[in-house]
Structure 1
């Protein structure tokens, strides 16, 4: 009997695979903060196949609450398989002269999201992410209106990493991408011994059917904790530009290999 599944664990039925076959569909709510970081620190995070951006300091941090599913939508019958939160730091770069974004750090709340991230080249960690939600009734909720206040926090491994606050100022029709430019990621799977092969690839994530709505501009606060760790603190904000709150839907339809490469003196 053959084993089935897009990803481990493989079983005779394939029903235990941690991640289903693409395409993957996403609907979510985003809080995004555009900010300036130390340009030298940003460029130091780039893999050797990417070039510095025209403005290396122009970073963004996003917080998202998702519901996701495969084409057959089986995850919708069991919300624990569909719902999760995510937060990441995107830094600007170029690939062969064209703008891209590179995910320097990213945290998520579910194991299937970690696995899906490794497949796509996102360096995911498990984290604790909390975001203010909107409800239709009552005083215990902000509304999508001027003055609406939306807080997001990020922790990981028992440490507080980031606090952010958005205060809505005005509706925004042309909401920017939370990721900056098109994502260019590194898929890295180290070899186990001298006879095994390492996978080290620069890939483009294929996002399609992107829709954004209910957009608001916001005054933003973004604070990194001193407990965050020095590598993360290297990308801490020097100044904060603007925040955005919006809904977003998109489909990930696999990815495209851009090139294979090696890191020199990685160990």
Structure 2
């Protein structure tokens, strides 16, 4: 019998794109919180979950991931990837979220197929995109972008060779709290069309990742600029003009051991 967790299905399971969880992640993140016209959030937030509050966050991340055996760390082409995560704060309907104020992820972009499928299995709607972000290094040097007052960080996302997001951060030297999915539970959607009924659409089921063993370096705070660009396919610009309210940068690690239903 095949031993694969995901396709391709082989007797050994070795070539499966994704191995079974737990999945361990460690990464460098630049986070930009923003405000927008809450009424426009209805285009990206399912009505059955709740309503957008007019607040959101973009996370630019440079990740390294592995399973329990850590073998990906010895072959980092399987471990490393960058992504941009967009989450919107929602006032959840009764029975949807605990606490009632949580986040929904309508859009997320990644540059690695392994991460793409891991995301789909968790309810994160990942697509392929190219993320760049300034790295901070533990050096006092002009090119190191140390986590100190005055350091400047940049980040961008391009999808299908078109720029979708631009951000810049100037660190203040002060500590910051958690932002976005770092601060509150985040809901995702999972669903697949059935090609035996090719005219039908997928019916999404909502869940959240089962995250344990979170560690953080602490977050360096700052101010930011943020811009969403029009795109012929991607719908991020439906949120209209956005105002960056605060920003942070730092390192974190988490373990995903599965997913939970909203009432779990």
Q: What TM-score, normalized by structure 1, do the two folds share? A: 0.88
Q: Say whether 1:155 aligns with 2:149.
A: no
Give structure 1 stretches of 5+ with no counterpart: 260-267
Name the residue aligned to 2:134.
132
Secondary structure of residue in 2 paired with 1:11 = coil
- 1:96 paired with 2:127, answer no
Q: Does 1:248 align with 2:230?
A: no
Q: Could you give the per-residue CA deviations for residues 103-127 of structure 1, whole angstroms, max 9, x where no partner exists?
A: 1110001001111111111111111
Partner of 2:35: 36
Aligned residue pair count: 256
The 5-angstrom pairing of residues 201-212 of structure 1 reads 201-212=205-216
Distance in 1 (alpha carbons) for counterparts of 2:10 and 2:237: 42
Q: 1:258 and 2:262 equivalent?
A: yes
How far off its partner does 1:175 sit? 3.1
1:262 corresponds to: none
Is 2:107–2:126's contact at 8 Å kept on the other side of the alignment? yes
Show the counterpart of 1:77.
74
Displacement of 1:69 in angstroms is 0.6
Alignment of 1:216-235 (within 5 A): 216-227=220-231, 229=233, 231-235=235-239
Note if contact 1:130-1:154 (Cα within 8 Å) is conserved in structure 2. Answer: yes
Q: What is the CA distance between 1:136 and its match in structure 2?
A: 4.0
1:102 alignment partner, SS class: strand
SS in 1 for 2:245: strand
Structure 1 residue 171: Cα displacement: 3.1
Q: Distance in 2 between matches of 1:46 and 1:173?
A: 27
Q: Is the 8 A contact 2:216 2:253 kept in 1?
A: yes
The superposition leaves residues 192-231 of structure 1 with CA deviations (integer Å, 9 ceiling, x where unpaired) of 1239995631112111111222411111010122347572
Mapped to 1, the partners of 2:40 and 2:183 lie a distance apart of: 18
Rounded to whole Å, the distance in 2 between the matches of 1:126 and 1:152 is: 17
Mapped contact 2:31–2:57 kept (Cα < 8 A): yes
Change (3 A) 1:222 1:197: closer
Residue 177 of structure 2 aligns with which residue? 174
Distance of aligned partners of 1:198 and 1:215 in 2 relative to their CA distance in 1, 3 Å threshold: closer
Cα deviations by residue, 1:141-195 (Å, 9 ceiling, x for unpaired): 2111101111011001010111101110023163335455201111011111239
User: Which residue of structure 2 aligns with residue 264 of structure 1?
Assistant: none
